[in-house]
Amino acid sequence: MSEIEKSILFVNVGPSYSKNFKYYTSAKFWDFFSCAVSDVETVGYIGPFSENTPKNLALFPVSGCRTYKLPFFSSQREFYWKYITSLFFRNELNVVLSELAKFNFDVVYLRDFGLFPYLVVKRLVKNNPDIRVVLHITSDTKKLAESNFKGIKKHVYRFYSMFRFNFEYKFLTKFDHKVLLNSPHPYFNFNDNCHLMMAHSSKGFKSREEAYACVNRTFEVDAPYILFVGRISKEKGVGILIDSFLGSKDLKNKFKLLIAGDGPELAAIKKNYECSEIVFLGNVSNQGILDNLYSASSCVVIPSLEDGVPKVLMESLSCGAVTLASRVGFIDKILDSRYIFEPGNVNQLTELIEAVLVGDESNKVKDWFLLESERFSSEALQARVKKFIFSD
């Protein structure tokens, strides 16, 4: 399938559309969108618009781009009400669905799965029974049930998640389909039709000297450091990293531990680990500063107890930072096994950090990660996903 001769419709709507409006309209999505359709003949877009939306979207990046702006629904209840009323009266959803009947798209890309994406595909199949459906699975609903619900609600949500998994699978396998995974799914495994959705906002590698000077100016850090970036919560395992760091005299004497992030466990972590070698940076939202932190670090550690495809992993690798991570989610599909440790294993993590930072092979390790940075650049990852979407 040659993308230049094809047409694609992006459906940027999902079950959490109303709650996570910023996620559906982030600048990172538009970067991916522009790359994916750069050589496509005809493009359609259905979804929300925001301040990040390119002002010339109707002409961007190809002149054949047709857009359908959906209103912001304050809740799923409001969306379903709109859908029910659309069966009897003409409203915004009718307009979009009726417009789709005029076009014959070759590929439909679903940012997430839900009632509206389902209706869109059903409408498109009438025009083109051979349409390719690409589904981006963004979240693990079973995991969400564990973390966000208690009691009977947790059991209800577990049942819903398994029903949804099963429905997604049965629905997709009726068509020529591709799946982009951000988190584990019980029915989809890695094969020619399944690919990791690896994306990030990093601008990539910067010279270590330039990056270190910026970090020193911004945070007044004047020593080599080990870096953690992420939400300060139990599942991210920051306490495991701190225990590992404090348990090694070599690491304490030669490095600082920088923790960039905020979260529910931050106050408790600060209270339990009062130490001059540990520096809490708070939430670092500026991507340029984050890139400098990655590039200037001695190593980045991702000690998660649960995860899928961590954005921090992709950003760190693109910046050429030595990166160590626990064996959870899809990390072992991305990172070389030499730099992976078992989740929660403090001793193993300590040995691994010491080996890559003060061991005989430390310079070779740094050189290897610098070579990897090009493979994990944002442009390279987007190009691989684009090729996957259109490949036979």
Q: Kindly state the average pLDDT of the residues 183-196.
A: 73
Residue that is written with structure tokens 């945070």 in the block: 219
Residue that is written with structure tokens 């200037």 in the block: 296
Beta bridge partners of 69: 47
Best-predicted range by mean pLDDT among 30-44, 117-131, 236-250? 236-250
First to last CA, the chain: 6
**Minimum mean pLDDT among 67-71, 105-109, 307-311: which range?**
67-71
| pLDDT higher than threshold 90 for residue 237 | yes
Q: Would you say 301 and 324 are in contact if contact means Cβ atoms under 8 Å apart?
A: yes
Residue among 79, 188, 174, 185 at smallest CA distance from 131 = 174
CATH class for domain 3-198+380-390?
A: alpha beta
| One fold for 3-198+380-390 and 208-375 | yes
- The number of beta carbons lying within 10 Å of the beta carbon of residue 152 is 8
Which option is the CATH number for 208-375: 3.40.50.20, 3.40.50.2000, 2.60.120.10, 3.20.20.70?
A: 3.40.50.2000
pLDDT tier, 145 (very low <50, low <70, confident <90, very high otherwise): very low
pLDDT in tens, 78-108: 777 777 887 787 777 777 778 777 778 889 9
Would the pTM of this model clear 0.85, i.e. be above it? no
Q: Kindly state the average pLDDT of the residues 261-289.
A: 91
Q: Quick one: what percent of the chain has pLDDT higher than 70?
A: 81
Could you state, in order of their start, the residue ranges of all structural domains in the chain? 3-198+380-390, 208-375
pLDDT in tens, 334-387: 899 999 999 999 999 999 999 999 888 888 999 999 988 888 887 788 788 888
